[in-house]
Amino acid sequence: MTSAGPLPDDLVRLRNQLAAVPFALDTPGRDAAVRAVRSVVDQVDDHLLPRLRDVDAPLLVVVGGSTGAGKSTLVNSLLQAEVTRAGVLRPTTRTPVLVCAPADRGAFADDRVLPVQVEVHPAVPEGLALVDAPDVDSVVEANRDLAGQLLSAADLWVFVTTAARYADAVPWDLLRTAAERGTALAVVLDRVPPEATREVATDLAGMLERAGLAQARLWVVEERPLVGGFLPEDQVAPLRGWLRGLAADAEARAEVVRQTLVGALASLDDRVAGIARAVDEQAAAAAALRTAADAAYGRAATAVDEGVRNGTLLRGEVLARWQEFVGTGEWMRSLQAGIGRLRDRVTAAVTGRPTPAQDLTGALESGVERLLCSAAETAAEDTVTTWRGLPGGAAVVAGRERELSTVGPQFTEAAGRTVRDWQGAVLELVRGEGAGKRSRARLLSWGVNGAGAVVMVAVFAQTAGLSGAEVAVAGGTTVVGQRVLEAVFGDSAVRQLAERARGDLDERTGALLHVEHRRFTELLDGAAGPDDAAGLRESARTVARARG
């Protein structure tokens, strides 16, 4: 018998990792992987760990098979007592019944097996427990799942079928699974017409051999009238005797336990490998979706940057306000007269109208806000469109395409606030730059708003700062603003102002788009990653080493 050693702890670690793996994306292999995870976790909980921790526990014999095969009648007949309900209505077995000897009741007091009704009966020999499982092909999905779960918990599976249904596909899927996992197996061929016994039994034996189950014991029960609700004694006595022999022979019982235990442990390699591949698929799908969103919002940032740099913002309303601001030379005259700041305040207070500098910065604010909204809107639409065509993506956006295909509800307000904050930061840059200019600080203080407006326009009008260039806009060209700033600050300082202002706008734009980008990436936060698959593979290798 395999020595437990560190194996139980290693199995618990693998089991917990499997149970925690998220299959959040609707990839092609997801459903099969989810079923495989549930199967492995159930088998670890219901069979491997209990058996490793107590190799001498009663032999768990699960009687399972097709609908109407007579499983409950067989169990009752083996014990000559009605311990489980048999009937003509399907599905018959809804709550599995586990029957054991009174002395073995304590072995099943700690929920070793999943939802079963535990009964004790003196006809069951010590060291043996029988479970009447639901139909493996039940019309009720929960019954099918429970049947598979109980079969995975078995030390020995007694598969019951009939002469009319022994070739059905669903039971054979489970029989092949038993072969792959090395499960100890006995087959009961029930309701066989006496005249066809040899022919049918020979055919079924050949099918078992071709399926790799030649070692399975085959028992034939002929179709005869029940006697007091039980199968005729001569039909069940051979199987009863074999089971009692297993219970009485510690070595034979241990061999059955060892066969199934070793087979189940060995099967973990391929089963976990298949799950890990499905996790790889999940991780790849999540990465592709993230890449698509990254690309869409990367293009949005580029579009904003190009819109800032290529001068397209300096048209229409902005152009008109710029021409009003510097076209008449009023700003220059206000600076030369030293009354610009005072006049701006008086004009605004008396008339209630914004100053030309305020008109210009307001027009710039609206233009940049529209640019940001347009880029973010396009990014959202592009992301949704691309995700629909990627594995797992359609299900993520399903039902919320309308919401995701446009900017978030707070974006427009946030965009306006971002631009206003940037404009305020530009004024602080200008004010800070002039603070140390002793001979020119007073001049600057009179025209901070105007100087700031010129710096803003410069950011949108040129691609490489102000050095050696003129601030040109559509039908008019002026160097007034630039020359004044150069006179106040110096040529190098002006270039630095424009570069810093542009860099600050880039950062604020990036942060704003990042929030929008997160609307998509946070939908993938629960998806599996490469580390999940790597962890499963490493834990499976650890289990393989521990089992020897």
Over residues 190-204, mean pLDDT: 95
My answer on whether 243 and 339 are in the same domain is no
Q: Is residue 326 situated within a structural domain? A: yes
My answer on whether 296 and 242 are in the same domain is no
Identify the band that residue 513 occupies on the pLDDT scale cut at 50, 70 and 90: very high
Over residues 415-419, mean pLDDT: 91
Q: Is residue 280 situated within a structural domain? A: no
pLDDT digits (tens, 9 = 90+) for 350-398: 344 556 666 666 777 778 888 899 999 999 999 999 999 999 999 999 9
My answer on whether 337 and 486 are in the same domain is yes
Residue 405 lies in domain: 289-528
Q: Is residue 313 situated within a structural domain? A: yes
Element spanning 484, H or E:
helix 480-489
Q: Is residue 547 situated within a structural domain? A: no
My answer on whether 310 and 193 are in the same domain is no
Say whether pLDDT at 340 is over 60. Answer: no
Q: How far is CA 305 from the centre of its chain?
A: 34
My answer on whether 411 and 304 are in the same domain is yes
Q: What does the angle CA 379 – CA 383 – CA 385 come to, to the nearest 5 degrees?
A: 120
Quote the percentage of the chain above a pLDDT of 90: 55
User: Hey, which residues does 231 pair with through a beta bridge?
Assistant: none
Q: What length is written for the chain?
A: 548
pLDDT digits (tens, 9 = 90+) for 103-133: 999 888 765 556 788 899 999 999 999 999 8
pLDDT at 338: 43
Instruction: Lowest mean pLDDT of 16-30, 322-336, 352-366, name the range.
Output: 322-336
Q: Is residue 153 situated within a structural domain? A: yes
Q: What is the C-alpha separation between 130 and 390, in angstroms, rounded?
A: 49
Identify the band that residue 429 occupies on the pLDDT scale cut at 50, 70 and 90: confident
Domain boundary, last residue among 194, 217, 248: 248
My answer on whether 191 and 296 are in the same domain is no
My answer on whether 229 and 297 are in the same domain is no
Q: Is residue 350 situated within a structural domain? A: yes
Highest-scoring range by mean pLDDT, 79-88, 134-143, 237-246, 419-428: 237-246
Rama region for 65: left / alpha / beta (φ>0; ψ in -120 to 50; rest) = left
Q: Is residue 158 situated within a structural domain? A: yes
Over residues 53-75, mean pLDDT: 91
My answer on whether 401 and 518 are in the same domain is yes
Q: Is residue 330 situated within a structural domain? A: yes
pLDDT at 483: 56
In the chain, what is the greatest distance between 2 CA atoms, to the nearest angstrom? Answer: 124
My answer on whether 78 and 184 are in the same domain is yes
CATH number, domain with residue 228: 3.40.50.300
My answer on whether 241 and 295 are in the same domain is no
Q: What is the C-alpha separation between 485 and 462, in angstroms, rounded?
A: 16
Q: What is the C-alpha separation between 362 and 420, in angstroms, rounded?
A: 9
pLDDT digits (tens, 9 = 90+) for 450-500: 666 667 776 776 543 333 333 444 333 334 455 555 655 666 666 778 788
For 480, the token pair is 């007034």
pTM of the model: 0.80
User: Hey, which residues does 62 pair with through a beta bridge?
Assistant: 131, 157
Domain boundary, last residue among 230, 248, 266: 248
CB under 8 Å to 59, separation ≥6 — which residues? 127, 128, 129, 155, 156, 246, 247, 253, 256, 257
My answer on whether 220 and 79 are in the same domain is yes
My answer on whether 243 and 295 are in the same domain is no
Q: Please count the structural domains in the chain.
A: 2
> Of residues 313 and 471, which shows the higher confidence score?
313
